[in-house]
Structure formats: C-alpha cells, structure tokens
Structure 1
C-alpha cells in the first residue's frame, strides 16, 4: 500500500495536486489511518504524531504525488456579536469553555451545542445554524487536540488559570 508520512502545509506545495481528500474536522485529526482520496487513491497515512490536517494542506505520498486536503462542510453554529468588542467578549466565553472555534473577522464558527447556544444568546449574541467547513484555530495546546466527548479533559494543569466548568 502507498504510504504517506509527511504533510505539506497549505500554500507550500508548488505543483499540481494528484487528487483531493474531503474530510470533516474530526476526520482530519489523524496520525495513522488507511484513507482513500476522492478519486480512489488508497494510501496509509502514517504521521509521526497526530495532527489536524488543514484545508489546503497536502498529504505527500511516498511515490511523490500530493493529495490536497479539503474541509467537508459540517452543521455548525455561526456566532455574531453586536460589534467587534462584543464578538471578542463572546470569543472569551467560548474559549473559557475550551471549545474548538474557527475565528473570523465578523463571526465565530463552533460545533452545534444547545447549551452553548443558550449561553451565547443569553450574552446578547446571535446564533445561526450554518453548513460550513470547520477549520478551528489551533491554540496554545494544538498538539493535544481535545475531541468531542472528552469534556473535562484538559492537556494542561489548572494552576496557571481559573475558569468555570
């Protein structure tokens, strides 16, 4: 089987891509897994450590071909504030709960969660259900990516900061 042990970060591949692979955010956080590109190229992803493959990254196959990573649209919440300062305040509250978030100039994209929606709306933010590619910010602890269902697990101690849970 063809192996892939390296990733070319987005914007660094200068040639043509051999194919694409379209994955949601959860499927893009990988270390080792058999995969099949959108056009049918089967390969074994075998990275030295788990990482989040980003939209536009290239998976370098051992035969020299490069597969472009595409982010599959997912059901998300689009969070907006009244103004930039209010949006920053909402971002702080989301970050305080260790939520994966894609932060843009005028909105924040997060996974759908009824409790979080109620919190954001209670803080005066607007929440809209959208289908979009989810490419969350890496953050200070990006190498210890927390997956859905691991609530309460943190890759760091709590001595340096305090927050609500």
Structure 2
C-alpha cells in the first residue's frame, strides 16, 4: 500500500464536521512547510505535498486523499510575553523588534517572541515588561506573505524583494 498524501488544507475557520483521523503537533518553524513526510500522534504516516510552502495554523486540517483529516496543533515553545505601559510604547517596542527582523506574534495588548537574552535585555532597557512563558508561537507571516526562514534549506524566500525601488536599510541607534 502506498503512503497517503495530503494536498489540501482546511483552515480552522472554515472546518465543518471534519473526519479527524489523527493529529500532528508542530512548532512554528515545523508548521511552515511544502513537502515533508509526517507521522501523527496516532501513527498515521502521510506525505504533505502542497504546491507552495504554507504557514499552517493551530486548528487547521490537512486533508488526506482518502478524505480523513489530520489536525494541526501548535507545540508550546519557550517564549517571552512583552508588555508596555501604553499602546504607543508597545508599538515602539514592536518597531525595534521589526527593525531586527525578529519573528513576532502580535496579541491584543502584548507581543511574543522566542526566548533571546539579547533581545530581552534590549526590551527591558526600553522599558518593557518581559515575562518568560511556554505557549504556542504564531508569528506574523511578513509583509510579502511568507515567513523569513533563510536558514532552512528547503525555503528559498528572499529576505528582500527587488521591486525596482531603492530601499535604504539603516541599522543604528536612534536618539530620543
């Protein structure tokens, strides 16, 4: 018997009465895939075979060719929750993280990043409250619709898009 393939995703928002046969638990990087063999917690082995790399979200379903659905679950990761005294200060902190090309999850009144002692120290110096937590990480996918995974060989997304415009990219301290 050949291996089952999953070539379609049902987004969590549109899932109605799925026939869930198994579940895969993946961290944020593992949830950004195009083609890989996966094994669910219940032993279902299948080939994820999508036309392009997609950021899978917690609660999405991978539709197997036999109609079964493998549920995607986000694995808890070592993160820090970042809060500030005001929305303006939180926006300023988000700008500093974005300026460092750091994957960030945006919540209603906080930001989340993976644990990084250098960034945590910088944020605290900027007045942030930084709280270590274990939680699923669901970072923003980026302005061009993909997460930047330059260190992963199966993803060849450019870190900057050449759209014919000049882009000065200065990385230096700004006085306040």
TM-score by length of 2: 0.84
Per-residue CA deviation, residues 85-116 of structure 1 (Å, 9 max, x unaligned), is 11111111111111111100111110111111
Work out the CA distance in 1 between the residues paired with 2:161 and 2:102: 15
Task: Provide structure 1 residue ranges, at least 5 long, that are not aligned to the other structure.
Answer: none
Give the aligned partner of residue 3 of structure 1. 5
Work out the CA distance in 2 between the residues paired with 1:5 and 1:13: 16
Where in structure 2 are the equivalents of 1:93-108 lying within 5 Å?
Answer: 93-108=96-111
Query: Secondary structure, in 3 states, of the residue corresponding to 1:98?
Result: coil
Give the aligned partner of residue 123 of structure 1. 126
Q: 143, 146, 171: which is aligned to 1:164?
A: 171
Deviation at 1:149, TM superposition (A): 4.6
Aligned length: 162
- Runs of 4 or more consecutive aligned structure 1 residues displaced over 6 Å after TM superposition: none
Asked if residue 89 in structure 1 is aligned to residue 96 in structure 2, the reply is no
Deviation at 1:50, TM superposition (A): 1.1
Does the 8 Å CA contact 1:141/1:155 hold for their aligned counterparts? no
Work out the CA distance in 2 between the residues paired with 1:87 and 1:134: 19
RMSD between aligned alpha carbons?
A: 1.9
Does the 8 Å CA contact 2:83/2:90 hold for their aligned counterparts? yes
Work out the CA distance in 1 between the residues paired with 2:168 and 2:63: 39
TM-score by length of 1: 0.90
